[in-house]
């Protein structure tokens, strides 16, 4: 016959002593969700120490840095899972990546614009396979910019852009597949060799009413993600070094770089350029200013960078047109 286990009452007549088999719920709660805890710590580590991720294997470091802000999406996902699992340790761990993300990118979320500048500049990869060139011309002519840089100009499209922009921009220069249109005079146009075998960069002196400035227009080589070789960015990286060398040797103090750099300000491989210049979006923008791909922008690879006392006062992204990129613009105080 089965025996019924009975609690033993204490001699003083108090409550029965708890059985040794009573659940230890408190300890179990704190041990629950350890996988989520590890994932939260790993996410915080990737955010804080992204520069430690090596580029030696498939340029993984640059690939991570290209889309680094998007790691922040892990925070609400991990938090939701931790709440669902009722895992206090995981909930606390999620604070780590949240704090690191805010430290890295919180300043980009706020509006830092300070009003109208002395002139407006715009850069746009118009795409060789542009599906609405008339719409792009309308966008450019109505942008209010005084200086416009265009990249990926197909040779057959140059006459159309030259004719379509002539009334608004009387001065222009085209070298290879990149061009510059301006309301101000252009001088000293010269090709910049970015080591790719054809022309995708040049510099020009633009004489604004406030004074001269050197304007560089560049389209660095494209990058690809391939299963067999990873993030193929070697040619772009070599071009970034050549462009950085040219900017370092620039004789004018005030310098603008406009173009599609096929990389973000976080990407260490663009350091030869980004270490010398500051981003208009980072200094005066509102939000991340993602420009590619146009349908659902995920990265800002189209850049407006400056040095020499040029002060960005505003930066924004224009609506989509027939290109796979969105145009970006900025106001500057001379």
Q: How confident is the model at residue 16 (pLDDT cuts 50, 70, 90)?
A: low
For the residues 77-95, what does the mean pLDDT come to? 96
For the residues 72-84, what does the mean pLDDT come to? 97
Asked if residue 234 has pLDDT above 90, the reply is: no
Summarize pLDDT for 152-201 with one digit per residue, the tens.
Answer: 999 999 999 999 999 999 999 999 999 999 999 999 999 999 999 999 99
DSSP 142-209: TS--SEEEEE---GGGHHHHHHHHTTT--EEEEETTEEEEESS-EEEEEE---SSSS--EEEEEEEET
Asked if residue 305 has pLDDT above 90, the reply is: yes
Q: What's the residue count for the chain?
A: 334
For the residues 8-34, what does the mean pLDDT come to? 56
**Domains, the chain, ranges and CATH?**
25-109 (no CATH), 119-333 (3.60.10.10)
Which carries the bigger pLDDT value, residue 4 or residue 141?
141
Contact 315, 285 (CB under 8 A): yes
The 3-state DSSP class for residue 224 equals: strand
Contact 173, 148 (CB under 8 A): no
83-107 residues labelled b (16+ CB within 10 A) or e (exposed): eeeebbbbbebbebbbebbeebbee
The dihedral over CA atoms of 236, 45, 75, 100, expressed in degrees to the nearest 10, equals -90
Looking at residue 2, its pLDDT comes to 46
For the residues 266-289, what does the mean pLDDT come to? 97
How many CA atoms lie within 13 Å of 208's alpha carbon, on the beta-carbon side?
21
Asked if residue 24 has pLDDT above 70, the reply is: no
Q: What percent of the chain has pLDDT over 90?
A: 84
Does residue 293 have a cis peptide bond before it, meaning omega lies within 30 degrees of 0? yes
Asked if residue 6 has pLDDT above 70, the reply is: no
* DSSP-derived secondary structure letter, 227: T
For the residues 6-24, what does the mean pLDDT come to? 49
For the residues 244-250, what does the mean pLDDT come to? 98
Asked if residue 30 has pLDDT above 90, the reply is: no
């Amino acid at each position: 016959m089965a025996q019924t286990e009975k609690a033993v009452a204490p001699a003083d007549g108090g409550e029965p002593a708890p059985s040794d088999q009573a659940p230890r719920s408190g300890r179990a709660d704190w041990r629950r969700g350890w996988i989520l805890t590890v994932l939260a710590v790993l996410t915080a580590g990737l955010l804080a120490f992204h520069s430690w991720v090596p580029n030696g294997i498939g340029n993984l470091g640059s690939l991570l840095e290209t889309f680094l802000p998007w790691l922040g999406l892990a925070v609400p996902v991990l938090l939701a899972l931790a709440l669902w699992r009722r895992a206090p340790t995981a909930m606390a761990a999620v604070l780590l990546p949240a704090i690191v993300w805010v430290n890295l990118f919180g300043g980009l979320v706020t509006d830092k614009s300070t009003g109208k500048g002395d002139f407006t500049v715009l850069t746009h990869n118009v795409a060789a396979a542009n599906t609405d060139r008339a719409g792009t011309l309308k966008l450019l002519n109505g942008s209010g910019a005084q200086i416009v840089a265009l990249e990926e100009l197909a040779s057959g499209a140059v006459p159309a852009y030259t004719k379509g922009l002539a009334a608004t921009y009387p001065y222009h220069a085209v070298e290879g597949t990149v061009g510059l249109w301006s309301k101000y005079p252009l001088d000293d146009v010269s090709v910049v060799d970015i080591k790719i075998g054809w022309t995708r960069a040049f510099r020009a002196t633009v004489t604004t009413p406030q004074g001269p400035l050197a304007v560089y227009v560049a389209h660095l080589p494209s990058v690809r993600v391939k299963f067999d070789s990873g993030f193929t960015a070697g040619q772009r990286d070599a071009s970034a070094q050549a462009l950085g060398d040219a900017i370092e040797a620039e004789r004018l103090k005030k310098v603008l770089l406009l173009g599609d750099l096929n990389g973000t300000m976080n990407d260490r491989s663009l350091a030869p350029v980004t270490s010398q210049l500051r981003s208009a979006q980072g200094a005066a923008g509102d939000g991340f200013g993602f420009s590619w791909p146009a349908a659902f922008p995920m990265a800002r690879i189209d850049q407006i960078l400056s040095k020499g006392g040029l002060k960005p006062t505003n930066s924004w992204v224009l609506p989509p047109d027939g290109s796979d990129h969105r145009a970006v613009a900025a106001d500057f105080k001379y």
